[in-house]
Chains A and B, each alone.
Chain A
Amino acid sequence: MKLAWFSPLPPEQTEIGNVTARILPTLASRFDLTVYTGNESWNSSADAVCPIKSFTARTINWKELHRDGLPVYHVGNHIHFHGEIIAVARSCPGIIVLHDLALHETILNLCLEKGGGLAQYFDILCRYGGPDAVQHGQDFLENRVVNNDKLVMEYPLFEYVVRNARGVITHNPLNVGPIREATRAPVLYAPLPYLNKGDFHPPIDRTSRKREVYNIVVFGFLTNPNRRLRQIMEAFAESGVSDRFRITIAGKYDERDLRTWARELKIKSSVTLKGYLPDAGLDTLLEESDLCINLRWPSRGESSATQLRLWNFSLPSIVTRIAYYSTLPENTVAMVDPDNEKPDLIRHLQQFAADPEAFFRAGEAGRKLLEEQHSAEAFADHLSAFLPSVEDSRGNSYLQSFGRRLARDFLTDYADPSARSALAKRCAGELAQWA
């Protein structure tokens, strides 16, 4: 089957692009694939796998796109990487791989930068959230509310993107329900693919490690308070077993804050700051570490490539029991409750100090899950099984937009509500027979 795969690609710094690049060989071996990317350039190795085309919504050749097959649009929450993809997806129905339900800010930016401005934003907000949503949106934009998390989570606006979709794929099983409410298109939960089967790191046996001091790692974009760095450091300081651990922090963070906290909490000698590490350096760090603390609170619900990266190195982890992380099997991670965060963290650190092997086994179980569910091959299997249902409903996607247009452009002309209602029913009855 021919697929037109819309995704950013490396060297753009986005995990969605990284995943596409990694799994491309498997996808290309299973499907007749053409990649459409907003990148102006990409790593040349991708060219050897399948045709790569650079596109913008304004210049795309629609006829060529139709020839290249069913579009598969990767939609995440960053306008730079996904704005053009959303614009094309709205015009040319295809499968949406919805990496994030919380698209509110992306849609807002899309309206402001490429669309109809605030009027369009409020129109969308009203359509999917009602008048209350518009009020909340105005409050936020006029600085009456400082934190927009509530607005974003309450009105995620993913409906705007999936409205014309022919199918929707999510990597988070919790998202299936809300998506089904927003579209009649078939919906698939398929675990986030991470690597081709042959590319997994060899399993690491940590059970043979007998260390006096174990290495904890915290990494990623840590400037967002939802990564709970301060809380982690407090729990570490109060655990009573801090002498059994060393914490290494890598990625993007506020160094001054971290140094201040470490001094205040008297754990300065146990904390190492590594800063940004290139991929290879980070891989080495994960390989040498014994435990990762990978918290999110609050979470916007997206599935986590970070978690899969840990499992690739059989690395045990502590996560927050929230959103996507709450769906992870209990035997693969240690969880902390958001309402009982510090005590749970302390408990896990103490348990690790007492019985590290139990945690190592969780890391191995995670690694097994990664191989079973998160390989490119497993994803390709899911996609293959899903495509027939998308094909079966292919006659429907236009009828839905036609029905909406009919209501908007024709039926509103009828001043008499009873005549309008009768005609609307007649038309709806007709359209129901067309597919």
Chain B
Amino acid sequence: MRIVIVNTHVPFVEGGAETLARTFQKALQAKNHEVELVRIPFKWYPPERIHEHVLACRLLDLTEVNGVPIDRVIGLKFPTYHVRHPNKVTFLVHQHRTAYEMWDGEHCDISHYPNGKAIRDSIESIDRALLPEAKRIYAMSKTVASRLETYCGLPSTLLYHPPENATVFRSGPFGDYLYFPSRLTPVKRQQLAMEALALTRQPVNIRFSGSPDNPRHLNELKELARKLKVEKRVQFLGRIPFEEMVELYAGCRGVLFIPHMEDYGYITLEGMLSSKPVITCADSGGPTEFIRNEEEGLVTDSDPRELAKAMDALWSSTAFAREAGLRARKRYEDLDITWDHVAECLVK
């Protein structure tokens, strides 16, 4: 089969969706499909740009190349999943979240514009009207499926997928740091982690890895660490090689992953694959589909005091950390999260 995966492309920004697209491409190629990854640039501000990009996607012709048909198009993210194709399947990674559940939140940009509400309504209207063009819609997590159902009234099929290089992750000793791998950006809430750290009673340390979306944010985080007097208990490692990340997972006491309404979150799965407990928050979205409180880790309110208690609990009981880590690994395996299964669903 000749398959095109379409995804958005934000130059110089690399996140989970980009990794998914790349890994997914490899998985389909491993099944002997001819697969191209088409990345369409996306700029979402000022919000008037959004509709221009939707239109750009709609005006593209991906039905054939050089007279040879493209058999299937698989769309991943807004607005690229609106590309026209008679045999399109949507593997829904993200809708434009600031038009949905993030609208009322502090991280929403559109709502600061006078026509923001009209643009939000229009995005929802576009999704409602055009998403059903797909032959089938798979959602990569319950969080994503629930958003689609709640706001657009559209059903979808849940389809979990593994992180990149899932087989490489391994367990190791329970070291003297919590590991927080993520892009440095407000929605991942590194700030909340540091506020909690300042309230811990145990000598907890956090190692952050990942590059900032905006360099200014890194400076703000460092400044906050100084203000909270925790600068000696945090490390900002920046973007690190994959192997180093595997090592950090393997050697940590536990994984800290507390985003606001994350749609999926590879970090959770990578922590589970590394047999590490994961601390997450009740409003973190995707991670809570995998982590149950006091089972595979700890789930707390997104409040610095509560989070500090969870950090202290994990820090003070290596035994609990070890047992929860083992349960996490087992749960991952029980869920049968494999690319084989994903490829089978999306190509059938």
Seen from chain A, the residues whose Cβ lies within 8 Å of a Cβ on chain B are 62-63, 66-67, 88, 91-93, 164, 166, 394-399, 401-402, 405-406, 426-427, 430-431, 433-435
Contacts and interface: CB of A to CB of B under 8 A. Distances in A.
Q: Quick one: which of B55, B117, B126 has the most chain A CB within 10 A?
A: B117
A91 B114 contact: yes
Given A406-B55, A427-B55, A430-B58, A435 B111 contact: no
Contacts of B55: 406, 427, 430-431
B116 to A, nearest CB: 6
B336 interface: no
Contact of B121 (A63, A91, A397): A397
Interface string B45-65: 000100100110011000000
A405 B48 CA distance: 10
Contacts of B37: none
B130 interface: yes
Nearest to A430: B58
A398 B118 contact: yes
6 contacts: A394-B118, A395-B126, A399-B122, A401-B115, A433-B130, A434-B130
Contacts of A426: 59
Nearest to B109: A63
Interface in B83-134: 103-104, 108, 111-119, 121-122, 124-126, 128-130
Interface residues of B, number: 26
Main secondary structure of the interface of A (DSSP, over half): helix
Nearest to A90: B114
A88 B58 CA distance: 32
Contact of B115 (A67, A398, A434): A398
Given A395-B125, A396-B125, 14 more contacts: A62-B113, A63-B108, A63-B111, A66-B116, A92-B118, A394-B125, A395-B124, A396-B122, A397-B118, A399-B51, A399-B122, A427-B55, A430-B55, A435-B129
Contacts of A431: 55
B121 A433 contact: no
A212 B112 CA distance: 68
Contacts of A396: 122, 125
A426 B129 CA distance: 17
A67 B124 CA distance: 17
B122 A63 contact: no
A398 B122 CA distance: 6
A66 B117 contact: yes
Given A398-B122, A402-B51, A430-B55, A62 B129 contact: no
- Top 4 closest pairs, chain A to chain B, by CB: A395-B125, A91-B114, A398-B118, A398-B122
Contacts of A164: 118
B99 to A, nearest CB: 11
A431 B125 CA distance: 11
Contacts of B125: 394-396, 399, 434-435
**Chain B CB within 10 Å — which of A62, A91, A406 has the most?**
A62
Contacts of A401: 115, 118
Given A62-B112, A434-B129, A93 B118 contact: yes
A262 to B, nearest CB: 55
Contact of B126 (A88, A91, A405, A434): A434
Nearest to A57: B114
B122 A435 contact: yes
Nearest to B104: A67
A144 to B, nearest CB: 39
A91 B118 CA distance: 10
B115 A66 contact: no
B78 to A, nearest CB: 13
Given A394-B121, A430-B59, A402 B48 contact: yes
B122 A93 contact: no
Contacts of A434: 54, 122, 125-126, 129-130
B14 to A, nearest CB: 30
* Most-contacted residue by chain A among B54, B55, B104, B118 (CB, 10 A): B118
A135 B59 CA distance: 42
A76 B223 CA distance: 52
Contacts of A93: 115, 117-118
A36 to B, nearest CB: 13
A62 B114 contact: yes
B111 A91 contact: no
A92 B117 contact: yes
Contacts of B116: 62-63, 66
A230 B125 CA distance: 58
A353 to B, nearest CB: 59
A398 B121 contact: yes
Nearest to A62: B114
A411 to B, nearest CB: 12
Nearest to B58: A430
A428 to B, nearest CB: 11
Q: Which of A67, A92, A402 has the most CB of B within 10 A?
A: A402
A395 B114 contact: no
Nearest to A69: B117
Nearest to B82: A434
Contacts of B59: 426-427, 430
Contacts of A430: 55, 58-59
